[in-house]
């Protein structure tokens, strides 16, 4: 991050890309282990696509979302809950600071609504569906491990469900395989059809899916972004210090996305006073 011609901050980024099972490029440490966080949502939604093939693409898209509680996103969560069937009181994601009251406004409420729908369809109890011992979470763990070909450990995500520690190369491999997994094509089609539900107007993943036809992109907290291109290239990038402002320029350098090469730094008057760019 440069201001007034001086480097004020430096963010180290690690990256890996995989195509046809082979590592095609990397930067930094391709074996860097971090948590999938919300980048796991397209994989978690595979169970929903299989259990409920009757759902609309918008239902699958909101199940993959890290939404901004925009009106259309909240309406999509309500629609998925009604189809589950379940209620807002069944959501176990809790409330989120800085957002309107009620768990439906949580960034992960769409994912949780989808998990409730899977439980209903599979005859599993909905109570404590978030816990690692629940059959839903056990099946998701197996899905992630099989798709990535690796699994280093688990922890609890910010919304109370299991999250998965993986090397970046394994994350990239998982996304490169997404279209071949059962339910994967339905999830990908839903995300392409409704990028505005997956993130929001300011989200990097939504912006990339709008700008790049056929791309699937999903971000996760602590400076992670993963995705796949129409030709099956899976990629994963992680900002080591967790600051996601470095992701755009890093993607530009790694994948040749010129419009992201520089992110302006603005003052409180909206005037440009610096930039975030690759060294």
Distance of alpha carbon 76 from the chain centroid: 17
> What residues contact 263, with CB distance under 8 A and at least 6 apart?
245, 248, 249, 275, 276, 277
Domains of the chain by start residue, with CATH: 2-277 (3.40.710)
DSSP letter, residue 177: T
- 154-184: pLDDT as tens digits: 999 999 999 999 999 999 999 999 999 999 9
Is residue 142 within 8 Å of residue 167, measured between CB atoms? no
- 131-156: pLDDT as tens digits: 999 999 999 999 999 999 978 999 99
Whether pTM exceeds 0.75: yes
Residue 25 — φ and ψ, nearest 5°?
-160, 160
Distance of alpha carbon 218 from the chain centroid: 3
Over its length of 279 residues, how does the chain's per-residue pLDDT go in tens digits?
999 989 999 999 999 999 999 999 999 999 999 999 999 999 999 999 999 999 999 999 999 999 999 999 999 999 999 999 999 999 999 999 999 999 999 999 999 999 999 999 999 999 999 999 999 999 999 999 999 997 899 999 999 999 999 999 999 999 999 999 999 999 999 999 999 999 998 899 999 999 999 999 999 999 999 999 999 999 999 999 999 999 999 999 999 998 899 999 999 999 999 999 998
Cα–Cα distance for residue pair 69/82, rounded to 1 Å: 18
């Amino acid at each position: 991050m440069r201001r007034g011609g001086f480097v004020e901050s430096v963010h180290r980024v690690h990256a890996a890309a995989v195509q046809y099972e082979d590592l095609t490029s990397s930067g930094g440490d391709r074996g860097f282990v971090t948590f999938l966080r919300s980048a796991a949502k397209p994989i978690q939604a595979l169970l929903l696509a299989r259990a409920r093939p009757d759902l609309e693409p918008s239902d699958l898209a909101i199940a993959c979302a890290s939404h901004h509680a925009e009106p259309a996103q909240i309406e999509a969560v309500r629609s998925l809950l009604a189809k589950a069937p379940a209620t807002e009181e069944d959501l176990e994601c809790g409330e989120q600071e800085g957002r309107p009251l009620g768990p439906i406004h949580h960034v992960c409420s769409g994912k949780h609504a989808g998990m409730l729908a899977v439980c209903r369809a599979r005859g599993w109890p909905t109570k404590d569906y978030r816990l690692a011992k629940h059959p839903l979470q056990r099946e998701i763990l197996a899905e992630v491990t099989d798709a990535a070909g690796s699994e280093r450990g688990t922890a609890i995500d910010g919304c109370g469900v299991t999250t998965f520690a993986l090397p970046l190369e394994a994350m990239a491999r998982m996304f490169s395989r997404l279209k071949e997994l059962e339910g994967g094509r339905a999830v990908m089609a839903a995300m392409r059809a409704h990028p505005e539900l997956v993130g929001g107007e300011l989200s990097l993943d939504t912006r990339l899916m709008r700008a790049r036809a056929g791309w699937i992109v999903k971000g996760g907290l602590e400076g992670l972004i993963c995705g796949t291109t129409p030709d099956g290239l899976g990629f994963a990038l992680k900002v080591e210090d967790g600051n996601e402002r470095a992701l755009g320029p890093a993607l530009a350098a790694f994948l040749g996305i010129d419009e992201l090469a520089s992110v302006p730094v603005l003052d409180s008057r909206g005037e440009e006073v610096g930039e975030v760019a690759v060294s």
